[in-house]
Amino acid sequence: MSRRLLFLLPALLLTTFVQGQESSDPDAFADVITPGDLRTHLYQVASKEFEGRETGTEGQRKAASYIEEQFRSMGLLPGNKIGYQLYYPLFQDSLIKAAVQVNGQVFHLYEDLSVISGINHTATLYGGEVVFAGYGISDSTRDDYKGLDVHGKIVLVLNGLPAGSSLPPGRRGSLVKQETAQKNGAAALLIIQTGFPQKVYQGKGSVYLDGFKKTILPNTFYVSEKIAGAIMGDDYMSARSGTVAARSYTADVVLEFSKAITMGQSSDVLGLLEGSDLKDQYVVISAHYDHLGKRDSIIYYGADDDGSGTVSILQLAKAFAKARAEGKGPRRSILFLANSGEEKGLWGSEYYSEHPAYPLGQTTVDLNIDMIGRIDPNRKKGDSTNYVYVIGDDKLSSDLKPISESQNTRHTRLELDYKFNDPSDPERIYYRSDHYNFARKGVPIIFYFDGIHKDYHRPTDTPDKINYDLMAKRARLVFYTAWEMANRDSMLKRDIPLN
């Protein structure tokens, strides 16, 4: 045998191996994804035992353990390299005290004031001057702080926005007011609200992700018109109608706020199926396994949202594991990513995108599944027993839509509905699930979705209402799409700018 032939043999064998993979018929492995297996898993994931899987609770931890055990039993590698779970910190407040005094008059929590404990810090402030700053807005159209010196002072503002003003998409008015007060040097912010006394759920404080804040905002109190009147006197009624200019008021004001902070954690669950010749490139298949938990004794089961996505990635992992066991595994590695914290604000996927276990630059796509088990009652066109909403395939990569549509035409023949790709979609669905944290980093994504139904975010989202045949068909579309993306020669182009 010549030296030239010896040199070429490994390349020839690799070419034969890769071509064998590309010519493999994926149907035999897609058949692993069955309605019966999906049903079995979902009745466990959306069971009373897991108590609605709220992030940071025992129910969520039980669900994480269940997913981890499934990944382990399939022979997937620990996706976090040192384990199957990628942990991230959580913070929870326990409010101790919040009170306001004006010229010796004491005002009480929920009777004349309220707070959001997560945005405040423990402090007692004594101020002798309060500056009224209109709506507390400063942008290209108006500046309510113009001519005012509020450095180190308490600022009082009206709630809401002035006529003709609007906020940028996704921005809360109270946060804008806080940030504007902070930029102008305010020591504290009082936002006038109606609706006192308030009926408030006296449970634990909210759980939040950003415990270590880059910017400490001024303590903010939502105060009643009674407190506003105690500070401004008769001027307050005129201020409501916009006839009082911004100015300062002399008043002895005490602002008290104290809380205890408990640090905990939650986790994403990661299982890796290692590829062959392109194993250092990655396909991510994701879904969130958390839901809303319990309200008193009422469980929010979250069978469709997103138990359906969670159990689908389990079956997708099983299908790819079977292919690998038969010598037809994918060329690229596949990361099966079960996120927590989605219902809290995409926390788990945000944490992964900032601390990726595998380089995002080497991640060719994220295929995200969030609700694929039901039928949208508002869908009036086509066959509503044979569709799926496909979102994001027209963004970031021109490769996405042709691959998605060709795999559907060849294998599943679902109606692909692009309703939520509309940039003017009032529901803003593109921004509301875990794929978005990949998209904002430039990773091409497709999001699979069934629509909003009457049981969305209600305790009645239970596994008996799932259409398991349709769910299996939708999950198979994800499988075929992932199969093509894991085995094609090139990573997906990134040729469409992120909007």
Q: Which pLDDT score, from 0 to 100, does residue 174 have? A: 83
Q: Which pLDDT score, from 0 to 100, does residue 206 have? A: 73
CATH code given to domain 19-91+263-487: 3.40.630.10
Give the separation between CA 98 and CA 83, rounded to whole angstroms.
42
Q: Which pLDDT score, from 0 to 100, does residue 227 have? A: 98
Q: Which pLDDT score, from 0 to 100, does residue 127 have? A: 97
Q: With CA atoms as reference, report the closest residue to 411 among 475, 366, 467.
A: 475
Along the chain (499 residues), what's the average pLDDT of each consecutive run of 10 residues? Answer: 40 40 76 98 98 97 98 97 95 93 97 92 97 91 92 95 69 84 97 87 69 90 97 92 86 97 95 98 98 96 98 98 97 98 96 97 98 96 96 97 98 98 92 97 98 98 98 98 98 92
- 278-288/207-208 β-pairing: unpaired
Asked if 321 contacts 372 with a C-beta cutoff of 8 angstroms, the reply is no
- Give ∠ CA 104-108-113 in degrees, rounded to 5: 110
Q: Which pLDDT score, from 0 to 100, does residue 140 have? A: 79
CATH architecture of 93-262: 3-Layer(bba) Sandwich (3.50)
Give the separation between CA 50 and CA 340, rounded to whole angstroms.
13
Q: With CA atoms as reference, report the closest residue to 75 among 289, 311, 336.
A: 336
Q: Which pLDDT score, from 0 to 100, does residue 214 have? A: 86
Q: Which pLDDT score, from 0 to 100, does residue 22 have? A: 44
Predicted TM-score of the model (pTM)? 0.82
Locus of tokens 């939650």: 266
Residue 50: phi and psi, rounded to 5, are -90, 0
Q: Which pLDDT score, from 0 to 100, does residue 496 have? A: 96
Strand partners, 446: 367
Give the separation between CA 432 and CA 451, rounded to whole angstroms.
12
Give the separation between CA 360 and CA 357, rounded to whole angstroms.
9
Give 263's Cβ-side CA count (13 Å radius).
6
Every domain of the chain and the residues it spans = 19-91+263-487, 93-262
Give the separation between CA 385 and CA 387, rounded to whole angstroms.
6
Strand partners, 286: 337, 368
Q: With CA atoms as reference, report the closest residue to 406 among 396, 391, 416.
A: 416
